[in-house]
Structure 1
């Protein structure tokens, strides 16, 4: 905290994953993380400074005090040994995307998805969800753009993807022949509360006061609607993103 107050800089370890964080055509950093943390920086009388590094290096950057915060990380016991976690800042969940003009699936239920051809991105968590769908034919694609193309052309009936990614794609291209039907059925996907995102800060006395200030700020914007207004700017208008966060505790509950 003292470092931020003396330098008037809040250093964020960040990589480029839209809409979380990305560089615009003009080279400016944008996304919901910069939006959220710019507000926090102002409460400290500081300016947001982006340390653009690979995501895999972001935890170490915070643990060694190179950066003050790393963004959008899941809680793991291994990470908790070297950094402290903020209160949850976002819920992540997976959705069933279908064709907007010629949907082969009418409901976001297991029975409606049974036996269908389902698209997923290779190596993603959604592969497991698709494999659990009874009698489904799982088609794997190298990226979300390829899966959307298969969906819009009718080669697959549904596409399991993170809500954030689908909402952002539709926000960027409203003419995209894709819509969100609903959440991946709960019997196929992990509970939303287990997929919450957090910010990571340095451990110990260095980050203790800083973490208290961050948690206070996050709770305020989660409860008063400010964070939802920020998310709306990126097409993330589903209430699921902040569901239960206002009443959530400041420490990881498992």
Structure 2
């Protein structure tokens, strides 16, 4: 057994000598060129490993990093679109293309971020959920209600909008209290700004909560509802698109609230700051008003139709 151990030790020593390395206590060391070769091999292996890992690291950063970093790295700005809400959003069903002033804003914001727009179809009620689920990066046209502010953040106002009623023929009233009665059926699209406001301003009326904005118009046309709470821009579009649906009433006292864009809360907040700066820059240039006015034709609205209380 001892002889076998000595034999193995001698073989190991000869192997070390061939490679230029001696046992402990011997002064000969690895040659400089051999050592450099070993380092080079390690560096090459490390570089290869990093190269293979880079896409995964970039993807992980895009998925978990800030919205600003994700948009800049993927070159995609994900926004929401709500069909049938002209002049905010309009979807050409045949061509599959989107228009409207919110779309114009999204395209310009994407250009400023050196990105392209990707539009996901949604509803006003689901937009906040889409932001929370990381399906979209920004939703234009949201009102900053306290309930929404618990889960999303809001930009500076895009416009200040007035609450109105689209009133079916034969229904009369001038104040909010005139319509705050159980016999008055009030149509709203679930989860929208109109829905939230109606529950607060008309608590005694009979609420008709519907899935989409188009369903609200149909409820008035069919006689299922008597009035519909809508912000001024929406009520103008509803009356212009649907002959005989009724008239617009601006009940007193006049109630208005800002319309903003909603974003997902970020650790660094850079995306929100960028959008705010972009908004102020374009407001100063007059671009904001230009986008809105140029989209009025989608809803057959003329600039003179807009109430003076609507400012942008």
Q: What range describes the TM-score normalised by the shorter chain of this pair?
A: 0.5 to 0.7
Match of 1:199 among 244, 261, 264: 261
Counterpart mapping for 1:1-254 below 5 A: 1-16=68-83, 18-19=85-86, 20-26=88-94, 27-53=96-122, 58-63=127-132, 65-77=134-146, 79-98=148-167, 105=172, 108=174, 118-121=184-187, 124=195, 125-126=197-198, 129=201, 143-150=216-223, 159-162=227-230, 163-173=232-242, 175-176=243-244, 178-180=246-248, 182-186=249-253, 191-193=255-257, 196-208=258-270, 210-222=271-283, 224=286, 225-233=289-297, 234=299, 235=301, 237=303, 238-239=306-307, 242-243=310-311
Taking the aligned partners of 1:230 and 1:206, their CA distance within structure 2 comes to: 35
Unaligned runs of 5+ in 1: 246-254
Greater helix percent: which structure?
2
Paired residues, number: 224
Check the 8 A contact 2:154/2:263 in 1, yes or no.
yes
CA drift of 1:218 comes to 2.3
Taking the aligned partners of 1:64 and 1:242, their CA distance within structure 2 comes to: 32
Q: Which has the higher contact order (CA 8 A, sep 6+)?
A: 1
SS in 1 for 2:136: coil
SS in 2 for 1:71: strand
Taking the aligned partners of 1:15 and 1:140, their CA distance within structure 2 comes to: 20
CA drift of 1:114 comes to 10
**Change beyond 3 A, Cα 1:103–1:207:** same
Taking the aligned partners of 1:197 and 1:108, their CA distance within structure 2 comes to: 25
TM-score, normalised with respect to structure 1: 0.65
Taking the aligned partners of 2:217 and 2:121, their CA distance within structure 1 comes to: 24
TM-score, normalised with respect to structure 2: 0.55
Structure label with greater radius of gyration: 2
**Change beyond 3 A, Cα 1:217–1:241:** farther
Taking the aligned partners of 2:118 and 2:161, their CA distance within structure 1 comes to: 26
Taking the aligned partners of 2:71 and 2:180, their CA distance within structure 1 comes to: 53
